[in-house]
């Protein structure tokens, strides 16, 4: 991710990854772009099921109200809804309509996760483009979408975004449940493996072990049913390559959530120091100290494992520009325990 070339005063961030290689604040709002029987203009804030029924009615296919019920059931307290076009539109018009909704929802500062009722690959790709663009404008979000089993890996490869979660085992209700679990994370480094998707029944045939491996390596999040409850096997992003080379740095969605959390905390802390500040050594020292305080806080919270002393300098070609370089190692979730037994008789 690159910093936007801008003359606007402010604190901007960028990141890169190395090696094997974003805490969302608790209870982030979820944005939903979906079709509705009732034409509702603009964005609607939903906090209760009765409120949603009054606005949208019980839709014929049950997807929008089903998504809202699932979001509420899985802990989402604020849902922003933007209604797209109807099913009679052409696919290109439908994609444009959804993208317009995504852009509207991306303007809502509280929205931390965007999802949709659509299972069309082009709509998922449009969602990816919106969340990626929003992050460049300092509004970090995650997108969640559905696709068919036959095209999911191909769609994930086309998106190749660390901010997108794609699944192929259900409709928008499953997308909503996954979005709710991401939005409700109080610790960005906490893996979603084994999280139960409340209100979701198995909608497809169980995956084989080979299919699970194909999905995870291909950037598709696999699910399974245990005792009648749908659970996340591993919540992965669609980011699988950098250029033509395979890249697993952003495989787990927790990686970008952690990066977002750390950089946002530093950005907000340094923004408070900008007003009236001079770009001199005293300011550089203060910025370095504040940045280290934020990194130490994240290490204490076990969000990152370690960090290096921040390097702060004045840009050689622009004396009004302060450069802050941070290096840290994210805390990875535990996905496997391998036991080796040495048995003698």
* Residue-wise pLDDT tens digits, 85-116: 655 555 666 899 999 999 999 999 999 999 99
pLDDT of residue 15: 61
pLDDT band with cut points at 50, 70 and 90 for residue 20:
very low
Sheet-wide strand order for 43-46 = 43-46, 79-83, 29-34, 111-116, 142-146, 164-167
CA distance 26 to 182: 10
Query: Mean of the pLDDT values across residues 304-326?
Result: 95
CA distance 205 to 187: 32
pLDDT tens for each residue of 251-261: 999 999 999 99
Fold for 29-255, please state it: Rossmann fold (3.40.50)
Looking at the predicted structure, is the pLDDT value of residue 312 above 80? yes
For 36, 38, 75, 81, the CA distances from 56, given in Å and listed in that order, are 6, 6, 21, 10
CA distance 299 to 305: 6
Quote the tokens at residue 325. 């370089």
pLDDT of residue 344: 92
Q: Which residues pair with 31 in a beta bridge?
A: 80, 114
pLDDT tens for each residue of 42-79: 999 999 999 999 998 886 666 899 999 999 999 999 99
Quote the tokens at residue 332. 């990875």
Mean pLDDT of the chain: 89
Please report the sign of the dihedral spanned by the C-alpha atoms of residue 24, residue 29, residue 35, residue 40: negative
pTM for the complete prediction?
0.88
Could you tell me if 166 and 240 are in contact, meaning their C-beta atoms sit under 8 angstroms apart? no
Domain residue ranges of the chain, discontinuous segments joined by +: 29-255, 258-330
Could you tell me if 152 and 166 are in contact, meaning their C-beta atoms sit under 8 angstroms apart? yes
86 versus 247: the higher-pLDDT residue is 247
Query: Mean of the pLDDT values across residues 23-49?
Result: 83
pLDDT of residue 89: 56
Quote the tokens at residue 200. 């979701």
End-to-end CA distance of the chain: 57
Query: Mean of the pLDDT values across residues 298-313?
Result: 95
Quote the tokens at residue 87. 């099913």
Looking at the predicted structure, is the pLDDT value of residue 123 above 50? yes
Residue whose pair of structure tokens reads 């317009």 in the numeric block: 100
pLDDT over 70 percentage in the chain: 89
Query: Mean of the pLDDT values across residues 218-222?
Result: 97
CA distance 289 to 309: 9
Quote the tokens at residue 193. 């493996």
């Amino acid at each position: 991710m690159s910093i936007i070339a801008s003359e606007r005063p402010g604190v901007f961030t960028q990141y890169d990854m190395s090696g094997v290689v974003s805490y969302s604040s608790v209870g982030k709002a979820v944005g939903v772009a979906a079709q509705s029987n009732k034409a509702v203009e603009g964005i609607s804030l939903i906090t209760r099921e009765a409120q949603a029924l009054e606005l949208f009615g019980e839709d014929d296919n049950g997807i929008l109200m089903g998504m809202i019920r699932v979001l509420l059931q899985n802990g989402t307290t604020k849902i922003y809804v933007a209604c797209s076009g109807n099913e009679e539109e052409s696919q290109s018009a439908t994609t444009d309509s959804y993208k317009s909704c995504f852009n509207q929802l991306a303007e809502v500062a509280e929205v931390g996760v965007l999802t949709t009722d659509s299972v069309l690959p082009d709509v998922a790709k449009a969602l990816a483009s919106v969340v990626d663009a929003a992050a460049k404008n300092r509004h970090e979000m995650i997108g969640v979408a559905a696709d068919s089993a036959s095209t999911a890996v191909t769609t994930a490869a086309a998106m190749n975004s660390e901010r997108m979660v794609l699944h192929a085992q259900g409709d928008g209700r499953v997308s909503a449940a996954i979005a709710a679990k991401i939005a409700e994370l109080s610790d960005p480094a906490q893996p979603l493996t084994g999280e139960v998707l409340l209100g979701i029944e198995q909608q497809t045939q169980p995956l084989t072990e080979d299919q699970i491996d194909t999905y995870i390596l291909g950037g598709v999040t696999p699910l399974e049913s245990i005792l009648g409850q749908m659970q996340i096997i591993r919540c992965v992003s669609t980011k699988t390559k950098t250029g033509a080379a395979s890249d697993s740095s952003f495989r787990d969605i927790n990686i970008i959530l952690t990066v977002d959390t750390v950089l946002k905390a530093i950005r907000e802390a340094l923004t408070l120091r900008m007003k009236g500040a001079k770009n001199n050594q005293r300011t550089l020292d203060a910025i370095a100290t504040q940045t280290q305080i934020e990194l130490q806080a994240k290490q204490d919270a076990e969000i990152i494992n370690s960090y290096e002393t921040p390097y702060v300098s004045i840009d050689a070609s622009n004396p009004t520009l302060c450069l802050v370089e941070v290096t840290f190692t994210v805390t990875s979730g535990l996905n496997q325990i391998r036991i080796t037994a040495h048995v003698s008789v």
